[in-house]
């Protein structure tokens, strides 16, 4: 099988998207539309659970939202005026159907379904403890520990049990839960993964990104605040703050790559931030050239920002085919030598004889950059200068993003000069970490005001660049002690 995503396979991948809708006709159909807009956050599996006042209904399947939720009989079977949904890659747990969310359990307090974006960084430790106390797990997903913690909590009400459960959990979680009483949406105390709230008539919506509100014509109300827990029920909308205040550390990579450019993340337009990163790059590492060329599609806004700041013309020097599926069965061994370029191709008539600035969002393994530079040279470019709209990715993510282990990250293995040599460019430069924060409207990483007494904590999680992980990494540290993992170089 030939993968036809040569540029996407060498990216960090967001692992999940969540959606919830409370109090609307055919809630499952609305959830399916919302999930469709979040498909870029997870393409391996999708699921929806609804509640119709009498019982819960669930459909979970491997594959895309379209194809699984475009059939009338499936939507009709998901009866009710409330529903939650999930799209996923596998962060933890194998990609078996039993791990596809929403997960559901009948608890002493009634039915409970949960959809989770993020990763619980002490899930293995909690699982061992729960197993020792008699819990029997149905999946290998980290999310299931939340259900068992709720089930075994000593508190009486479901809400108190849920809050008690979350107080045992470390890491990143944006959760949307469906119960017989109402819907609960919650973001971890640092707000690492995004979650927004919207309104559609009388209905309340929760989603990982605002694009899921746009697609159903809902109005964006606000982001769920880090550490906030919102309950929507017949009593209305209640906001709770069950955790000790902490300086929020939302994922900065949402702005670089994960979120769709038409989304608003924590109040900032992703498209505007990406253009500002490109302008920072142009100021920090300008070079004489004839054209600014984006690596499509994710490099486009930053390349526009670079071109506008530098005055160098923006051109589409790489053309992407939009008619290629995720994978393609290679039509026989005899074409293996052709170096098939189904997804992206050089716009040779434009590139020939030109000095290019190629703009991409990140370098992960580096295999993609190497291929693109080679493609540009074969198309007749006289110079190829690579500019990257994020700092070097040197560390793995433990918060719900699929990163290769550190040894596979090009920037963890070599410095920028060696990386340049590896990819075969004339020059290579990354935006600085301060430049990235400036693009978000801040003076720099460590130069903002005092919040919660933590003067030096940056305003975002940027651990994949800095190694400064904002939470404990209990499972990683446990594995490290057993000699199973290479150590993390923590940020000094
Ligand atoms: Fe985002 Fe990187 Fe932090 Fe993971 S480590 S949450 S990708 S900034």
Residue 381 has pLDDT above 50, yes or no: yes
Domains of the chain, earliest start first: 2-249 (3.60.20.10), 271-464 (3.40.50.2020)
Give me the pLDDT at residue 2, please: 31
CA angle, residues 322, 293, 319, in degrees to nearest 5: 20
Bond preceding residue 366 cis, omega within 30 of 0: no
Percent of the chain topping pLDDT 90: 78
The answer to whether the CB of 294 falls within 8 A of the CB of 48 is no
For ligand 1, say whether the CB of 258 is within 6 Å of any of its atoms: no
Does ligand 1 come within 6 angstroms of the Cβ of 457?
Answer: no
CB-side neighbour CA atoms (13 Å) of 336: 4
pLDDT at 91: 56
HSE (side-chain half, CA atoms, 13 Å) at 278? 32
Could you tell which of 461, 488, 491 is best to mutate to test the pocket of ligand 1, judged by most ligand atoms within 8 Å of the CB?
461
pLDDT digits (tens, 9 = 90+) for 190-201: 999 999 999 999
> Which amino acids are annotated catalytic?
16
Answer yes or no: is the C-beta of 218 below 6 A from any ligand 1 atom: no
Spatial neighbors of 222 by CB under 8 A, at least 6 apart, are: 196, 197
Mutate to test the pocket of ligand 1, among 253, 390, 457, 462 (most ligand atoms within 8 A of CB): 253
> What is the DSSP secondary-structure string of 41-95?
G--SEEEEEEE-SS-EEEEEEES-STTTS--HHHHHHS-SSEEEEEEE--SSS-S
In this structure, which residue's CA is closest to atom 6 in ligand 1? 251
Determine the residue of 255, 406, 457, 463 to mutate for testing ligand 1's pocket, defined as the one with the most ligand atoms within 8 A of the Cβ atom: 463
Helix axes 367-378, 416-423, angle to 10 degrees: 50
Atom of ligand 1 nearest to the CA of 172: 6
Residue 323 has pLDDT above 80, yes or no: no
**pLDDT of the residue at 95:** 66
pLDDT value of residue 446: 78
Residue bearing the CA closest to ligand 1, atom 4: 397
Best residue among 16, 172, 192 to mutate for probing ligand 1's pocket (most ligand atoms within 8 Å of CB) is 192
From residue 368, give the alpha-carbon distance in Å to each of 8, 295, 330, 377. 8, 10, 20, 14
Q: Is the CB of 401 under 6 A from ligand 1?
A: yes
Banded model confidence at residue 320, pLDDT cuts 50, 70, 90: confident
pLDDT in tens, 431-484: 999 999 999 999 888 765 444 444 567 999 999 999 999 999 999 888 877 765
The crossing angle, in degrees rounded to 10, of helices 123-132 and 144-152 is 40
The owner of tokens 């993510």 is 397
Q: State the burial class of residue 481 (Cβ atoms within 10 Å of its Cβ: 0-12, 13-18, 19+).
A: exposed
Cα(303)–Cα(301) distance, integer angstroms: 5
407 falls in which pLDDT band (50, 70, 90)? confident
Report whether pLDDT(184) > 60.
yes
* Atom 1, ligand 1: residue with shortest CA distance: 251
Q: What is the pTM of this model?
A: 0.92
- The answer to whether 260 and 211 are in contact (CB under 8 A) is yes
Over residues 322-332, mean pLDDT:
53
Ligand 1, residue 463: give the atom nearest the CA. 5
CA of 343 to the centre of ligand 1 (A): 28
E runs forming strands in 296-454? 318-320, 327-328, 344-346, 355-360, 383-388, 401-402, 427-430
Question: What's the rounded mean pLDDT across residues 330-351?
Answer: 68
Tell which atom from ligand 1 comes closest to the C-alpha of 193.
6
Dist CA 207 CA 203 (whole Å):
13
Q: Which residue has the higher pLDDT, 7 or 11?
A: 11
**Both tokens of residue 411?**
């920037």
CA-to-CA separations, 300 to 40, 208, 292, 311, 370, in angstroms, rounded: 16, 22, 10, 16, 19
386, pLDDT greater than 50: yes
Q: Ligand 1 center to residue 396 CA distance, Å?
A: 8
> What are the residue ranges of helices labelled H in 216-366?
253, 270-284, 300-310, 348-351
- By CB atoms closer than 10 A (0-12, 13-18, 19+), residue 168 is middle
Nearest CA to ligand 1 atom 8: 462
Query: Within 13 A of 237's CA, how many CA atoms are on the CB side?
Result: 17
Q: Is the CB of 464 under 6 A from ligand 1?
A: yes
> What per-residue confidence (pLDDT) applies to 326?
44
Rounded mean pLDDT of the chain? 90
The answer to whether the CB of 244 falls within 8 A of the CB of 206 is: no
469 C-beta closer than 6 A to ligand 1:
no
Question: Measured from the CB, is residue 465 less than 6 Å from ligand 1?
Answer: no
The pLDDT tens digits for 126-170 are 999 999 999 999 998 999 999 999 999 999 999 999 999 999 999
Ligand 1 atom at minimum distance from 192 CA: 6
**Per residue in 410-431, pLDDT tens?**
999 999 999 999 999 999 999 9
Looking at residues 318-337, what average pLDDT do you find? 59
- pLDDT of 448 reads 55
Ligand 1 centroid to residue 490 C-alpha, Å: 14
- How do strand 16-22 and strand 203-207 relate by DSSP bridges? antiparallel
Judged against a pLDDT cut of 50, whether residue 489 lies above it is answered with: no
Q: How far apart are the C-alpha atoms of 47 and 99, rounded to whole Å?
A: 10
CA–CA dist 182, 24 (Å, integer): 13
Specify the pLDDT at position 330: 46
> What span, in angstroms and rounded, lies between the C-alpha atoms of 7 and 28?
34
Does the C-beta of 203 come closer than 6 Å to ligand 1? Answer: no
Q: Is the pLDDT of residue 101 over 70?
A: yes
* Residue listed under structure tokens 């009634």: 110
447 phi and psi angles, rounded to 5 deg? -115, 25
Q: Could you tell me the distance, in angstroms and rounded to a whole number, from the CA of residue 465 to the centre of ligand 1?
A: 8
436 lines ligand 1 (CB under 6 A): no
Phi, psi of 425 (to 5 degrees): -90, 165
Binding site membership of 190 for ligand 1 (Cβ less than 6 Å):
no
Number of the ligand 1 atom closest to the C-alpha atom of 258: 7
Q: Is pLDDT of 486 > 50?
A: no
Ligand 1 proximity of 252 Cβ (cutoff 6 Å): yes
Q: For 247-297, what is each residue's pLDDT tens digit?
A: 999 999 999 999 999 999 989 999 999 999 999 999 999 999 999 999 998
Q: Is the CB of 399 under 6 A from ligand 1?
A: yes
């Amino acid at each position: 099988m030939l993968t036809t995503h040569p540029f996407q396979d060498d990216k960090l991948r967001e692992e999940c998207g969540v959606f919830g809708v409370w109090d609307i006709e055919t809630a499952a159909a609305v959830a399916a539309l919302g999930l469709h807009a979040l498909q870029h956050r997870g393409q391996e599996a999708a699921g929806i659970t609804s509640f119709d006042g009498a019982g819960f209904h669930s459909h979970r399947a491997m594959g895309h939202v379209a194809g699984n939720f475009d059939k009338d009989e499936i939507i009709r079977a998901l009866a009710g005026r409330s529903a939650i949904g999930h799209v996923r890659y596998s962060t933890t747990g194998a990609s078996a159907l039993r791990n596809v969310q929403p997960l559901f359990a009948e608890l002493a307090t009634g039915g409970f379904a949960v959809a989770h974006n993020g990763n619980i960084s002490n899930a293995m430790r909690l699982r061992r403890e729960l197993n020792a106390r008699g819990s029997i797990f149905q999946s290998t997903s980290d999310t299931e520990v939340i259900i068992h913690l709720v089930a075994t909590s000593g508190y009486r009400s479901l809400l108190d049990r849920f809050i008690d459960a979350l107080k045992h959990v470390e890491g990143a979680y944006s959760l949307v839960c469906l119960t017989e009483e109402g819907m609960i949406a919650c973001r971890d105390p640092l707000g690492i993964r995004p979650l927004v709230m919207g309104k559609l008539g009388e209905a309340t919506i929760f989603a990982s990104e605002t694009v899921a509100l746009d697609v159903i014509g809902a109005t964006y109300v606000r982001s769920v605040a880090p550490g906030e827990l919102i309950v929507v029920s017949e009593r209305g909308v209640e906001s709770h703050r069950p955790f000790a205040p902490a300086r929020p550390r939302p994922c900065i990579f949402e702005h670089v790559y994960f979120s769709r450019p038409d989304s608003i993340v924590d109040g900032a337009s992703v498209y505007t931030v990406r253009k500002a990163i490109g302008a920072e790059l142009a100021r920090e590492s300008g070079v004489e050239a004839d054209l600014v060329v984006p690596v499509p599609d994710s490099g486009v806004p930053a390349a526009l920002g670079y071109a506008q700041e530098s005055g160098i013309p923006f051109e589409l020097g790489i053309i992407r085919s939009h008619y290629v599926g995720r994978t393609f069965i290679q039509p026989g061994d005899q074409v293996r030598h052709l170096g098939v370029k189904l997804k992206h191709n050089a716009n040779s008539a434009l590139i020939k004889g030109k000095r290019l600035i190629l703009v991409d969002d990140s370098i992960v393994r580096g295999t993609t950059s190497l291929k693109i530079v080679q493609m540009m040279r074969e198309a007749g470019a006289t110079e190829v200068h690579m500019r990257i709209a994020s700092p070097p990715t040197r560390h793995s993510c433990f918060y719900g993003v699929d990163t290769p282990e550190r040894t596979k990250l090009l920037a963890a293995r070599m410095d920028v000069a060696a990386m340049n040599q590896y990819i075969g460019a004339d020059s290579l430069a990354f935006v600085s970490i301060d430049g990235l924060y400036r693009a978000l409207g801040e003076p720099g990483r460590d130069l903002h005001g005092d919040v919660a007494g933590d003067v030096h904590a940056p305003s975002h999680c940027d651990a994949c660049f800095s190694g400064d992980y904002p939470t404990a990494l209990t499972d990683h540290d446990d594995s490290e002690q057993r000699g199973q993992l290479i150590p993390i170089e923590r940020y000094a």
